[in-house]
Amino acid sequence: MGSLMIRFCVLFCILSFNALGKDREFAIHMHRECKVGQKFRLAVKASMQLEIKRHVGTRSEKEDEVFETDFVGMVTVLKTTKGGGKKKILIVIEKFMITEEGFKFEGLPKDTRLIASLKDRELVFAEVLEGQEEGKPLAEGIELDALQQVINLDDEGDVNDDDIFGSKGKRKVGDKWSVNKDKAIEDFRKDEIVIFADRFKGETKLAGVVKVKGVECYRLTGSFVATQFRPPVPRGYRVEESALTAKYAGSFPVDTRLPELETTVDVRMRFRAGQRNVEMEFDRRLKKEISVMPLD
């Protein structure tokens, strides 16, 4: 009888908590401003699949890259954008493992110190000694490729997540709203990806209220699809088919002083383009699971 009462009480508490979450309204704040000196532990598990096929007449060639990354590092913010985005960071690696073709190896040793920044919108890394901000640029290779999938930085003037996926008004659990097409299209154009408004759709949903590491968060999920977009292909190429899809979810603390704690992302871009007797097929998919632990 006692155990039955306990189960009843637990169920009542769960239902009460869920009902409370449904009745509450939340001001949606996805973008969390960073400050110089801010520290956090970043853990990312990512998988990347890339396949490029080229056909010239009757000849064909194929290039592919498939790997998984398991990364943990301590991050210190060194510079921010005017909007509070991360512009330059210091990373002290705690774990950086890469798996390629069934072979698992260490990408960079523990305690390696890296400075990450953007140059012409490309993420660059330099290995540095303690106390320095200048060092030896990381050479091209799978280690650099993997880090570029793990780390995200912001350029001055970039739109943020609130601009594209956020809501101006308060929302209740179950509410959905459309992605800001104009802002999204503007953002993609900076990377030479041309998306047309009538071939683009997406929405965000306030999926629920959860606790992450003891912190109350609202859970957002969303997706978008763009078809017949123009990727950054060489001049003269005609895009015959293209699609860009994304699914994402994140847990955002109600306390806006805290960063987004958990994120999952699944993005796929594929297209087929040709010129005369030359045809190219491109297919790239990136999946990430991201966890953040504030350290200050």
φ, ψ of residue 66 to 5 degrees: the values are -135, 125
Beta-carbon count within 10 A of 183 CB: 16
Query: According to the model, what pLDDT value does residue 24 have?
Result: 87
CB 238 within 8 A of CB 275: yes
Tokens (6 digits) for 53: 């096929």
Which parts of the chain register pLDDT below 70? 1-22
pLDDT cut 90: percent of the chain above it: 79
CB 72 within 8 A of CB 42: yes
Q: Model-level pTM? A: 0.86
Nearest to 124, CA basis, from 138, 109, 135: 138
SS3 (DSSP) at 2: helix
- Torsion angle defined by CA atoms of residues 148, 150, 155 and 160, in that order, rounded to the nearest 10 degrees: 140
Return the residue matching tokens 């532990």.
41
Query: According to the model, what pLDDT value does residue 103 have?
Result: 95
Please state, in angstroms and rounded to a whole number, the distance separating the CA atoms of residues 16 and 20.
6
Query: According to the model, what pLDDT value does residue 22 have?
Result: 57
Nearest to 187, CA basis, from 205, 209, 162: 162
Nearest to 88, CA basis, from 75, 101, 71: 75
Query: According to the model, what pLDDT value does residue 57 have?
Result: 84
CA distances from 113 to 50, 126, 128, 130, 276 (A): 28, 8, 6, 7, 48
Tokens (6 digits) for 38: 């801010």
Which residues have a Cβ under 8 Å from the Cβ of 285 and sit 6 or more positions away?
Answer: 48, 49, 50, 266, 267, 268, 269
